[in-house]
């Protein structure tokens, strides 16, 4: 039997190049390697932890599915499904909640980062409207402004993974802490109720943490759209964004994360999309300046995204077939998880 691989992406908006180079491109390569039984899903339950408009949610779900298919995920090779259609995810999440220490979740950096962003939106006026006095500590205000789902997010993620007996989880670097928690919970459950879960390992790409175009000290992230290159950007937008990308002092095209974080980030994009080593790219641009390099990089990105964008256009014309593919994937995932959740409940003594 092949080792199992699971990963998901939240339907929270447009995908950017960080999502592609850190996750989606790798999903496709791993699927096509034929070495794994692959499961990819749309993490719609996770996406409810962020503010959203219910009129947009189903469109966002379909958009992620279209992105999956356009990038090369293939329902004949992988099970592709919707998290909320599989009840066992929420069931296992609840069971895992009961063995998760509160302190572990309190420490999660993604939780801290996300609640910090929420807090920044709460200006002092807003704060007063909600009846907080100025003496309320920042930390308490953050806690009041967030939701339990955001806090519990990593436990649902652990359930997503453990339910499928996944040995590998391809993700970007920002998810490593969540995977570590998943391993801890698997170990804890196994030692309490006997061996039930596999401890999964992360699979990172060569670009596990793509940095923002406008500020190479910050991760490219949907929460900072000004630094993102989106997969849907037109050739004109791509040229402008790369032209305006922050670069460093000096003029050499050389990989040096400490002294040249801007150029190093752009070199990573070039190398990953053009399947070319950084050394070979550096050689190609000896004696040339940032302008030449950026022009060539924009062309590389446009060329790499062209088939993907074309596929997206085609798939968008046929939403019914996209929905069908989700239904087929859901059915397969239901079958597998139905068996696993019974086994888990038996271990705890809920079923005899
Ligand atoms: P965002 O941080 O923009 O909200 P998500 O949390 O939806 O993105 O991430 C989806 C996938 O893309 C995850 O596997 C995540 O680790 C990966 N990812 C997100 N941002 C980056 C980045 N800048 N570089 C590499 N991988 C990333
Ligand atoms: N938390 C992941 C992200 O932000 C999405 C996700 C949810 C996931 N469940 C998962 C990724 C299980 C891998 C495995 O991108």
pLDDT digits (tens, 9 = 90+) for 260-286: 999 999 999 999 999 999 999 999 999
What is the pLDDT of the chain when averaged over all its residues?
Answer: 94
**CATH fold of the domain at 233-314:** Tyrosyl-Transfer RNA Synthetase (1.10.240)
Pocket residues: Cβ below 6 A from ligand 1: 9-10, 18-19, 22-23, 171-172, 174-175, 207-210, 219-222
Taking 70 as the threshold, does the pLDDT of residue 141 lie above it? no
Residue 269 is encoded by which pair of tokens?
Answer: 């994009």
pTM: 0.93
Question: Atom 14 of ligand 1 has which residue's CA nearest to it?
Answer: 171
Positions marked active-site: 114, 219, 222
Top pLDDT among 136 and 179 is at 179
Mean pLDDT computed over 228-241:
98
How many other CB atoms are found less than 10 A from the CB of residue 108? 18
Mean pLDDT computed over 26-36:
98
Cα 21 to ligand 1 centre (Å): 9
Q: Which CATH architecture has domain 4-209+319-348?
A: 3-Layer(aba) Sandwich (3.40)
> Which segments within the chain are labelled E, that is strand?
4-9, 37-42, 78-82, 168-170, 201-203
C-alpha distances in Å from residue 180, one per residue of 42, 159, 173, 175, 186: 21, 13, 12, 9, 10
- If we measure between CA atoms, which residue out of 272, 255, 263 comes closest to residue 292? 263
Cα 130 to ligand 2 centre (Å): 32
Q: Which ligand is nearest to the CA of 8?
A: 2
> By percentage, how much of the chain surpasses pLDDT 70?
92
Cα 205 to ligand 2 centre (Å): 16
Cα 13 to ligand 1 centre (Å): 12
| Domain boundary assignment for the chain | 4-209+319-348, 233-314
What is the position in ligand 2's atom list of the atom closest to the CA of 178?
Answer: 1
What is the position in ligand 2's atom list of the atom closest to the CA of 110?
Answer: 4
Going across the sheet that includes 201-203, the strands are 78-82, 37-42, 4-9, 168-170, 201-203
Top pLDDT among 272 and 134 is at 272
């Amino acid at each position: 039997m092949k080792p199992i691989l699971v990963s998901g992406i939240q339907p929270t908006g447009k995908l950017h190049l960080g999502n592609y180079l850190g996750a989606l491109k790798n999903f496709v390569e791993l699927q096509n390697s034929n070495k794994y039984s692959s499961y990819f899903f749309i993490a719609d339950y996770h996406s409810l932890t962020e503010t959203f408009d219910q009129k947009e949610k189903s469109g966002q779900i379909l958009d992620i599915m279209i992105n999956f298919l356009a990038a090369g995920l293939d329902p004949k090779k992988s099970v592709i499904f919707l998290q909320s259609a599989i009840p066992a995810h929420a069931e296992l999440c609840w069971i895992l909640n009961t063995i998760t220490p509160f302190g572990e979740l309190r420490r999660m950096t993604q939780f801290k980062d996300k609640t910090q962003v929420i807090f920044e939106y709460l200006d002092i006026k807003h704060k007063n409207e909600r009846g907080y006095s100025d003496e309320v500590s920042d930390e308490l205000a953050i806690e009041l402004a967030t939701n339990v789902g955001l806090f519990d997010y990593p436990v649902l993620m652990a359930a997503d993974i453990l339910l499928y007996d996944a040995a590998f989880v391809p993700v970007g670097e920002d998810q490593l802490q969540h995977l570590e928690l998943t391993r801890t919970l698997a170990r804890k459950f196994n030692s309490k109720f006997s061996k039930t879960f596999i401890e999964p390992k992360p699979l990172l790409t060569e670009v596990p943490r793509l940095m923002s175009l406008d500020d190479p000290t910050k991760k490219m992230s949907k929460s900072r759209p000004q630094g993102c290159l989106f997969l849907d950007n037109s050739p004109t937008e791509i040229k402008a964004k790369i032209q305006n990308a922050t670069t460093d002092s000096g003029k050499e095209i050389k990989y040096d994360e400490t002294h040249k974080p801007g150029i190093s980030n752009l070199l990573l994009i070039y190398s990953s999309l053009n399947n070319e080593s950084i050394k070979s790219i550096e050689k190609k641009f000896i004696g040339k300046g940032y302008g030449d390099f950026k022009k060539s990089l924009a062309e590389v990105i446009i060329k790499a995204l062209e088939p993907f964008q074309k596929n997206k256009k085609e798939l968008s014309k046929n939403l019914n077939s996209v929905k069908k593919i989700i239904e087929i994937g859901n059915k397969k995932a239901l079958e597998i998880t139905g068996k696993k959740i019974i086994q888990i409940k038996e271990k705890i003594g809920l079923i005899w």
